[in-house]
């Protein structure tokens, strides 16, 4: 029970990674306010947690809008009596679209749902935490925020923004007792990513641990970053990607293991 008696908000908690984090946190003793744009999903997730003996309260809100975020914090105040120990800033949407074709509407929609929502929730949470002597914030970024890729202009920029916001928040909020870290997941097997079999195989060839991640892999990292064991961590971006980022872009993992970079090519001379 690493989060016994703690209060936590998990955004996008209705399904996928957020739902798994909510389950895990409740199982570790936290009271979770589970916020999602889809009220039925949030309700179902909270009921499932309650059925397993945990404590979860659903809340419906569009977190990309100031009134939506405000609604969540009003709800949290009623639930937690003005306290908040942990925010998991996880809500987000996927988007793929080539740079030259990216419409203003899509750009704006992805920024609002991924980055503006994270900013509004982080600021709302930090204000409560600062008034109470501290807390933990974990922002969910992405490997797409660390490396170049095709079709990820809007999505990748929001995730890079989340990583940078994490560092700036850590600097500004450290003296207030608030630790802020980010998790950068690689491909995780929630419904947000859909790939054909060939694309899946090629992706897997680039992951040293030879599998896609599960929501529970991200939940484990979120639990660690929210627990007492991570007391001296702030401003970090923790990759949960099976080594995908470390392996780099050029070779597939199988190809990478057969490269003999210490053997000179005799056809090339200085
Ligand atoms: P899911 O789509 O399964 O879950 C995200 C949840 O957040 C959905 O219920 C979604 O609702 C909700 N949501 C989206 N926008 C808002 C909003 N403005 N206000 C409230 N709720 C909102 O995604 P995942 O669980 O896979 O992803 C969770 C986070 O992890 C995201 O930030 C994603 O970018 C990040 N991530 C995921 C990876 C993956 O491979 N799965 C890899 C790297 C990062 P709706 O579906 O209706 O939009």
How long, in residues, is the chain?
270
Q: How many CA atoms lie within 13 A of 76 on its CB side?
A: 30
State if residue 124 touches ligand 1 by the CB under 6 angstroms criterion.
no
- Cβ distance 95 to 110 under 8 Å? yes
- Catalogue the E-assigned strands of the chain: 7-11, 31-36, 55-60, 86-89, 135-140, 178-185, 237-240
Task: Tell me which residue has its CA closest to atom 29 in ligand 1.
Answer: 90
Give the pLDDT means over successive 10-residue stretches in the chain (270 positions).
97 98 98 98 98 98 98 97 97 94 98 98 98 98 92 96 98 98 95 76 88 97 98 98 87 67 72
Its pTM stands at 0.95
Give catalytic residues, as residue numbers.
Answer: 155
Task: Tell me which residue has its CA closest to atom 2 in ligand 1.
Answer: 192
State if residue 183 touches ligand 1 by the CB under 6 angstroms criterion.
no
β-sheet with 237-240: strand ranges across: 55-60, 31-36, 7-11, 86-89, 135-140, 178-185, 237-240
State if residue 190 touches ligand 1 by the CB under 6 angstroms criterion.
yes
Q: How many CA atoms lie within 13 A of 248 on its CB side?
A: 6
Task: Tell me which residue has its CA closest to atom 3 in ligand 1.
Answer: 16
What pLDDT score does 250 carry? 62
Task: Tell me which residue has its CA closest to atom 48 in ligand 1.
Answer: 93
- Cβ distance 33 to 8 under 8 Å? yes
CA-closest candidate to residue 41, choices 71, 80, 64, 11:
11
Atom of ligand 1 nearest to the CA of 68: 19
**Would you give the end-to-end CA distance of the chain in angstroms?**
63
Measured CA to CA, the distance from residue 70 to residue 122 in angstroms comes to 12
State if residue 59 touches ligand 1 by the CB under 6 angstroms criterion.
no
What pLDDT score does 175 carry? 98
Question: Separation of 32 CA from ligand 1 center, angstroms?
Answer: 17
């Amino acid at each position: 029970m690493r989060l016994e008696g703690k209060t936590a908000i998990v955004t996008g908690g209705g399904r996928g990674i957020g739902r798994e984090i909510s389950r895990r946190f409740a199982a570790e003793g936290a009271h979770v306010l589970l916020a999602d744009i889809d009220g039925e999903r949030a309700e179902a997730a909270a009921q499932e947690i309650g059925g397993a003996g945990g404590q979860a309260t659903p809340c419906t809100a569009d977190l990309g809008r100031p009134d939506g975020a405000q609604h969540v914090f009003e709800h949290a105040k009623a639930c937690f009596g003005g306290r908040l120990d942990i925010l998991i800033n996880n809500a987000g949407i996927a988007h793929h679209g080539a740079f030259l074709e990216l419409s203003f509407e899509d750009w704006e929609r992805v920024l609002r749902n991924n980055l503006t929502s994270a900013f509004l929730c982080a600021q709302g949470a930090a204000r409560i935490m600062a008034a109470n002597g501290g807390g933990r914030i974990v922002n969910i970024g992405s490997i797409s925020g660390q490396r170049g890729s095709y079709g990820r202009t809007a999505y990748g920029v929001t995730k890079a923004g989340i990583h940078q916001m994490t560092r700036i928040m850590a600097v500004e909020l450290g003296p207030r007792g608030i630790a802020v870290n980010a998790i950068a997941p690689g491909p995780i097997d929630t419904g947000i990513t859909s790939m054909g079999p060939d694309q899946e195989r090629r992706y897997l060839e680039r992951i040293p641990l030879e599998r896609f991640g599960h929501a529970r892999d991200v939940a484990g990292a979120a639990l660690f970053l929210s627990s007492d064991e991570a007391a001296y961590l702030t401003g970090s971006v923790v990759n949960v990607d099976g080594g995908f980022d470390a392996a780099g872009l050029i070779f597939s993992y199988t190809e990478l293991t057969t490269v003999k970079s210490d053997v000179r090519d005799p056809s090339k001379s200085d």
